[in-house]
Amino acid sequence: MKISVCIKQVPTREWQPRLNDTKTWIREQDASYEMNEPDAYALEEALRLKEKHGGEVVVCSAGPARVAQVIREALARGADRAIHVEDDGLASADAFVVAAALADAMRDERFDLVLTGLQSDDQGFAQTGVVVAERLGLPHATIIMDVQVNGSALRVKRELEGGWFQWVAMPLPAVLTIQSGINQLRYATLKGIMAAKKKEIRKAAPPATAAAARQKIVRLYVPEKGKKTHMIAGSPAEAAKELVKRLREDARVI
């Protein structure tokens, strides 16, 4: 089975946001980056499917040169090769533009299955995987917690809200967006890291006629507080005393 995994490089969880001069995007040069977490689960699921059914896992990422960091990491975890659609503008592009770049780069590969995370930890559109499916003309399912492959038949467990699930069958090839927690992640071994250095990363140019951007950020800012939060300072013992007093006397919840 030939599986593609679309991964995105996003700022780390510890990153403290700083804005660019026009306050329309982050200062990319200040950020440290990592693999988008739901994409890491998608990669793990692809590696497990390959172990069970054989075949090949190809990671595909769209972004500037720095994206090579997460591509190398995916190769070190066990992906066989990679496609990198390299373009500086893709770091801040909307889901339609990124999905068009990914779909164009993947089309001729004729993958049996395309996996990606359900959304990214940066812009959080929750659109890219579904738009890739539409552009490739493939069926899709979203927020998936289990993947079963039997020949050319696919059966997936889709998460609904409030603890409900649903099995959905569909033919291959197909596109799935993977939910975090579907599996337990593996980490790269030293052997994997060494092997990754010899693996192919094919550079793909972005589409000659780029898809039109469908949304524009006019201002980016730290959110205004919706609620007046009483911040309690002091040593742990002092803060604890003050908090318990407030909860007893003002909030009256204990």
Partner 1 sequence: MSIVVIAEQRQGKLNRATWETVAAAQQLAGAGTPIAIVVAGSGVGAVASELAAAQVKEIVTTEHAALEPYTPDGFTAALQQAIEQLAPAMVLLPHTYQTRDFAPKLAARVDRALITDVTAVKVDGGQTVFVRPMFQGKLSADVVPQGPPPHFVTFQIGAFRADQAARGASPAAVRALSVTIDASQLRQKPEAPFQEAKQAVDLSQAERIVAVGRGIKGQEHLPVAQKLAEALGAELAASRPICDSGWLPMERQIGSSGQTVAPKLYVALGISGAIQHVVGMKGSRTIVAVNKDADAPIFEVADYGIAGDLFEIVPAIVAELNK
Q: Which of residues 49-68 bind partner 1 (CB under 8 A)?
A: none
Structure tokens at 86: 């390299």
- Up-side HSE of residue 225: CA atoms within 13 Å toward CB? 5
Site for partner 1 in 193-232 (CB under 8 A): 212-227, 229-232
What's the CA gap between 105 and 97, in Å, rounded?
13
Number of other residues whose CB lies within 10 A of the CB of residue 134? 12
Candidate residues 171, 200, 203, 205; the one interacting with partner 1 per rule CB under 8 A: 171
Q: Which stretch binds partner 1 (CB under 8 A): 11-19, 78-86, 106-114, 190-198?
A: 11-19
Among 21, 162, 198, 208, binds partner 1 (CB under 8 A): 162
Options 127, 149, 176, 206; binder of partner 1; rule CB under 8 A? 127
Residue 35 near residue 68 (C-beta atoms within 8 A): no
Among 54, 164, 190, 209, binds partner 1 (CB under 8 A): 164
**Least distance (Å) from partner 1 to the CB of residue 132?**
9
Rounded distance, CA 156 to CA 169, Å? 6
- Contacts of partner 1 in 96-125 (CB under 8 A): 96, 99, 118, 121-125
Residue 70 and residue 81: Cα distance in Å, rounded? 13
| CB nearer partner 1, residue 125 or residue 199 | 125
Of 75 and 154, which CB lies nearer to partner 1 in the complex structure?
A: 154
Among 110, 160, 209, 249, binds partner 1 (CB under 8 A): 160
| Strands across the sheet containing 201-204 | 153-159, 140-150, 174-178, 113-117, 2-6, 56-63, 81-86, 201-204
**Min CB(128)–partner 1 separation in Å:** 8
